[in-house]
Structure 1
Amino acid sequence: MANVVTLTLNPALDMTVRVDGLQLGEVNSGQSLQTDAGGKGVNVASFLADWGRDEPGGLNVTATGLLGADNAAPFETLLRSKGITDAFVRVPGSTRVGVKLSDHAAQETTDINLPGLSASPEHLEAVRARLRERAAQPGVFVLAGSLPPGVPGELYAELAAELRAAGAYVALDTSGAALTAVLNAATLPQLVKPNIHELEAALGRTLGTEAEVLAAAHELLSRGAEVVAVSQGEQGALIVTAAGAVRAVPPRVQVVSTVGAGDAMVAGLVASHLTGSDLPDAARRATSFSVGNITRLGAHLPPRSELDGYAAQVQVSVL
Structure 2
Amino acid sequence: MSAPLLTLTLNPAIDQTVTLEHLAPGAVHRALASRSDAGGKGVNVAGCLADWGLPVAVTGVLGADNAAPFAALFQAKGIADRFIRVAGLTRTNLKLLDRHSGDTTDVNLAGLTVTQGVFEAARARLLDGAGPGRLVVLAGSLPGGLSPDTYADLTRRLKSRGARLVLDASGPALSAALAAGPDALPEVVKPNRHELEEWAGRSLPTLAEVHAAALDLHARGIPLVVVSLGSEGALFLTAEAALHAHPPAIDVASTVGAGDALVAGLVAGLHAGADLADTARLALAFAAGKLTLAGANLPARAEVERLAAAVRITHL
- Tell me the TM-score normalised to structure 2 length: 0.95
TM-superposed CA distance for 1:208, in Å, is 3.7
Q: Which residue of 2 aligns with 1:192?
A: 189
1:31 equivalent to 2:32? Answer yes
- Structure 1 residue aligned with 2:218, among 210, 217, 221? 221
**How far, CA to CA, are the matches of 2:271 and 2:167 in structure 1?**
16
**How far, CA to CA, are the matches of 2:255 and 2:209 in structure 1?**
26
Residue type at the aligned position of 1:294: L
SS in 1 for 2:6: strand
Residue type at the aligned position of 2:179: N
**How far, CA to CA, are the matches of 1:125 and 1:157 in structure 2?**
15
Q: Per-residue CA shift, 1:74-117, capped at 9, x if unaligned?
A: 00000011111110011110000011111222111111110100
Q: Which residue of 1 aligns with 2:69?
A: 74
| C-alpha contact (below 8 Å) 1:41/1:142 kept by paired residues | yes
- Structure 1 residue aligned with 2:90, among 72, 83, 95? 95
**How far, CA to CA, are the matches of 1:199 and 1:160 in structure 2?**
20
Q: Which residue of 2 aligns with 1:144?
A: 139
Superposition pairs for residues 51-200 of structure 1, below 5 Å?
51-52=52-53, 59-136=54-131, 138-186=133-181, 187-200=184-197
Deviates more, 1:227-236 or 1:206-215: 206-215
- Structure 2 residue aligned with 1:270, among 262, 267, 272? 267
**How far, CA to CA, are the matches of 1:134 and 1:202 in structure 2?**
30
| C-alpha contact (below 8 Å) 1:16/1:99 kept by paired residues | yes
Residue type at the aligned position of 2:101: A
Q: Which residue of 1 aligns with 2:287?
A: 290
TM-superposed CA distance for 1:2, in Å, is 6.1
**How far, CA to CA, are the matches of 1:114 and 1:73 in structure 2?**
19
TM-superposed CA distance for 1:73, in Å, is 0.3
**How far, CA to CA, are the matches of 2:202 and 2:245 in structure 1?**
24
List gaps (5 residues or longer) in structure 1: 53-58
| C-alpha contact (below 8 Å) 2:132/2:161 kept by paired residues | no
- Between the two proteins, what is the percent identity of the paired residues? 52
SS in 2 for 1:35: strand
Deviates more, 1:90-99 or 1:303-312: 303-312
**How far, CA to CA, are the matches of 1:71 and 1:9 in structure 2?**
16
Q: Per-residue CA shift, 1:153-183, capped at 9, x if unaligned?
A: 0000111111112110100001011001011
**How far, CA to CA, are the matches of 1:158 and 1:169 in structure 2?**
14
TM-superposed CA distance for 1:137, in Å, is 5.6
TM-superposed CA distance for 1:30, in Å, is 1.2
| C-alpha contact (below 8 Å) 1:102/1:256 kept by paired residues | no
Q: Which residue of 2 aligns with 1:232?
A: 229
List gaps (5 residues or longer) in structure 2: none
Residue type at the aligned position of 1:143: L
RMSD, aligned CA: 1.4
| C-alpha contact (below 8 Å) 1:292/1:307 kept by paired residues | yes
TM-superposed CA distance for 1:285, in Å, is 0.6
Q: Which residue of 1 aligns with 2:15?
A: 14
| C-alpha contact (below 8 Å) 1:193/1:228 kept by paired residues | yes
**How far, CA to CA, are the matches of 1:315 and 1:110 in structure 2?**
29
| C-alpha contact (below 8 Å) 2:3/2:57 kept by paired residues | no
TM-superposed CA distance for 1:65, in Å, is 0.3
Runs (4+) of structure 1 moved beyond 6 Å? none
**How far, CA to CA, are the matches of 2:208 and 2:90 in structure 1?**
41
Residue type at the aligned position of 1:106: S
1:301 equivalent to 2:302? Answer no
Deviates more, 1:306-315 or 1:129-138: 129-138
